[in-house]
């Protein structure tokens, strides 16, 4: 049985930004933005700009989204990557890459909600978008925004096949459900 750990101390890419008090799951926690009890209520979202892939370190939003994902904050990482998707123009290679990360994070949300079919559907779409991205950048580099695409695609496919952890839908404030982390270099 697949039993990933709860949030652990892992590499932080944006340590200057504190992680939220909880990872949002519908019906279990206050909506982060829409509820006055939410962990981000009244806070203006970070202004996202989309740097070229090789300058990913310059994007605090990207680095923090990686932190959020790696620590089990899937809804929150989805929101951060969505802001980058918008900043990228919502079309083209970079937008497809961010849409793939959005889909991976959405799969994490579905696992936390106890919806395994949502997990599989989102990871299948993420794999398609990553393959499209890889096909477009392959002549230039194996990495995109610091991530090795072939490695990420293999991890996504393996997670999709394995399914979400049986105990993913807990009331824990934070729960890591993926057997991999994003480690841009």
Average pLDDT of span 150-155: 96
DSSP letter for each residue of 90-134: SSSHHHHHHHHHHHHHHHHHHHHTT-HHHHHHHHHHHHHHHHHHH
Query: Does pLDDT of 5 surpass 90?
Result: no
Domain ranges of the chain: 54-162
Residue 6 has a pLDDT of: 41
Cα 95 to its chain centre, rounded Å, is 14
By CB neighbour count within 10 A (0-12 exposed, 13-18 middle, 19+ buried), where does 167 fall?
middle
Q: Is domain 54-162 annotated with CATH 1.10.3450.10?
A: yes
pLDDT tens sequence across 15-36:
999 999 999 999 889 999 999 9
Which residue stretches of the chain are H helix?
60-70, 74-87, 93-112, 116-137, 149-162
Q: pLDDT-derived band of residue 150, with 50, 70 and 90 as boundaries?
A: very high
Instruction: Answer for the pair 5, 172: CB distance below 8 angstroms, yes or no.
Output: no
Q: What is the pTM of this model?
A: 0.92
Residue 138 has a pLDDT of: 78
Average pLDDT of span 112-119: 96
Cα-flanking dihedrals φ and ψ of residue 184, to 5°? -65, 145
Q: What whole-number percentage of the chain has pLDDT above 90?
A: 83
Higher pLDDT pick, 119 / 11: 119
């Amino acid at each position: 049985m697949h039993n990933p750990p709860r949030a652990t101390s892992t590499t932080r890419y944006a340590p200057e930004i504190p992680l939220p008090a909880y990872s949002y799951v519908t019906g279990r926690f206050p909506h982060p933005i829409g509820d006055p009890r939410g962990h981000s209520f009244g806070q203006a979202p970070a202004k996202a700009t989309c740097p070229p892939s090789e300058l990913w370190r310059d994007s605090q939003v990207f680095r923090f989204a990686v932190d959020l994902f790696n620590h089990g904050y899937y809804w929150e990482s989805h929101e951060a990557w969505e802001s980058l998707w918008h900043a990228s123009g919502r079309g083209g290679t970079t937008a497809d890459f961010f849409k793939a990360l959005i889909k991976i994070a959405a799969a994490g949300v579905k696992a936390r909600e106890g919806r395994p079919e949502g997990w599989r559907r989102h990871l299948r779409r993420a794999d398609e978008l990553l393959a499209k991205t890889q096909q477009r950048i392959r002549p230039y580099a194996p990495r995109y925004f610091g991530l090795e695409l072939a490695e990420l695609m293999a991890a996504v496919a393996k997670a999709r096949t394995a399914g979400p952890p049986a105990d993913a839908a807990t009331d824990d404030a934070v729960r890591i459900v993926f057997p991999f982390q994003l480690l841009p270099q």
